[in-house]
Amino acid sequence: MENTAEKPSINSVLKESLGNIQNIAGPDSAETPKQDNMVVVDYKMVTFSLAGKDYAIDIMKVKEIAKAGRFTYVPNALPFVLGVYNLRGDIIPIVDLRLFFNIEMPEREYDALENMLIVSIGELTFGIVVDEIDKVVGIQKSSINPPHPLFGDINIKYIQGVVEVNNRLYVLLDIDKIFGSKTDNKASEDAVMKEMSARIAASAPAGGSSKKQTAPAPKKEEKVDYSFIVDSLVSMRKFTASALNDKWMQNRYKEWEGERGKGKTQLQNPADADVFLKKFYSPFSGTWWDKAYADSIFKSLPDNTAKQIVVWNPGCGKGPETYSLACILKKRYPEAKIRIYAHEVDLLSISNAPLLAVPADVANDWYAPYITKKANGDFTFIPEIRDSILFEYHDCANTNNLPSCDIIFARDVLSFLPEPSQQTIVSEFYEKLKGNGIVMLGQNESLEDNPKWSATKVGAITIFGKK
């Protein structure tokens, strides 16, 4: 690279050092090619702008382009990690390169749609927010020049090269270096990049179970112990400690420490995890309800004069909870048409729900008015109750087309989802819920710490509403 004596403008310096480049992309190329007219496009790049300057990325790394407005904020992540985004069911981290490179940019509007490039490096997928996405440009790989040291905006190690096409200068970013590719064998990697990859991998629930960033960075031994318990609960029973169940977790851990003794708190096996979690579950979780519990739910339901009451029951399991809810709702809102959408991602559990038989002792309990006897002596729910429920094999991480809901009933479901999914679904609750709608979670789950939700206690039951 030439070393010029004065300090001319960057563009003229680069133009000089780039020399006579073949301008392949456009018909307005003034230069006559030195060789014959056949120029081979052997490299394609996606061009975009960041803070007014033109950049590009190898098209092979770009999976797709998306426009998005709604990111779910991820706590404890680095500032340039904006959050996570639900890309058709896959939760991917979103990075803002403007923040990563410390480039000045206008204040982002809260609800504005951002332009994103979805890139993939090895097995990891990320979204990159940029100002504007321009187009795909084909070039000859040999026309890419190494970056000039004068380029002060961005750390040069992140630049693969520069290339001029049609009188525009593009800075070709090295995505692998920016995100720390797994195939990069360099012995000494930038500490920031290493941590960035680790942080990003931790905030996205990728295939294998990596350590989840659910607890603050362990400083003392106790905190290390606690975070190991958190990890074990995830890997053994898919229980994810989060803001949703934090209060209960903290109390339970203290109790556990007392039971097992300090330093001996570690969960040895799944059975141990079950003992720990035994105190988490709501009453009658996964089974038929007793009269007292049914009454407490009944009392917690607010007045509602709507002609149709829409209920979303994600994680309905085998069905007893849904049927119990259906009976109580019928009793509480006798004039209304009840419509319950019961979702479950475990096909085996839900496959028998529409035809669920009721045990005799249950049939004779408070459920009696809603039960009928079949010809063969089995007990089943009356058609009105059965018709009010739609059991669906559905993954709540995927988008649904539910109408606005009056009631969302999700007991002990969210705590068994990875944290980003928990956040996505709670946002979904907020969107789907009518203004006067209520959310009911598990006994030890709460939205109290979430500023968007209000909590009301009716006896032992807490109901959440939109603020």
Partner 1 sequence: MRVEYINPFVETSYQILKEVLGGATVTRGDLYLKSTAMPVMGVAALVGLAGDVEGRVLFDMTFETALNIASAMNGETLTKFDELAKATISELANLITAQAVTKLHELGFKFDLTPPALFAGEKMEIAALGGGNTNSVEALIVPLITECGKIEVNVAIRERM
Alpha carbon distances (Å) from 124 to 65, 193, 200: 16, 14, 9
The tokens for 328 are 């109580």
- Which phi-psi region, left, alpha or beta, contains residue 122 (left: φ > 0; alpha: ψ -120 to 50)? left
Q: How far is the CB of 233 from partner 1 (least distance, A)?
A: 25
Closer of 277 and 433 to partner 1 (Cβ): 433
Say how far apart CA 147 and CA 152 lie, in whole Å. Answer: 10
249 forms part of the interface with partner 1 (CB under 8 A): no
Q: How far is the CB of 392 from partner 1 (least distance, A)?
A: 5
The tokens for 54 are 């033109």
User: Looking at 393, 436, 459, 460, which residue binds partner 1 (CB under 8 A)?
Assistant: 393
Q: How far is the CB of 76 from partner 1 (least distance, A)?
A: 27
Closer of 209 and 351 to partner 1 (Cβ): 351
Closer of 216 and 354 to partner 1 (Cβ): 354
Which phi and psi angles does 348 have, rounded to 5°? -60, -40
Alpha carbon distances (Å) from 456 to 40, 172, 245, 312, 410: 68, 55, 17, 20, 16
Q: How far is the CB of 94 from partner 1 (least distance, A)?
A: 18
- The interface mask with partner 1, positions 353-372, x = CB under 8 A, is xx------------------
Stretch touching partner 1 by CB under 8 A, among 137-145, 209-217, 251-259, 344-352: 344-352
Stretch touching partner 1 by CB under 8 A, among 20-28, 199-207, 292-300, 342-350: 342-350
Helix (H, G, I), strand (E, B) or coil at 245: coil
Q: How many residues bind partner 1 (CB under 8 A)?
A: 21
Instruction: With beta carbons less than 8 A apart as the criterion, state whether 378 and 406 touch.
Output: no
Alpha carbon distances (Å) from 121 to 63, 94, 177: 10, 14, 10
- Which amino acid, residue 388? S
Closer of 54 and 90 to partner 1 (Cβ): 90
132 forms part of the interface with partner 1 (CB under 8 A): no
351 forms part of the interface with partner 1 (CB under 8 A): yes
Which residues contribute to the site for partner 1 (CB under 8 A)?
Answer: 88-90, 345, 347, 350-351, 353-354, 390-395, 397-401, 403
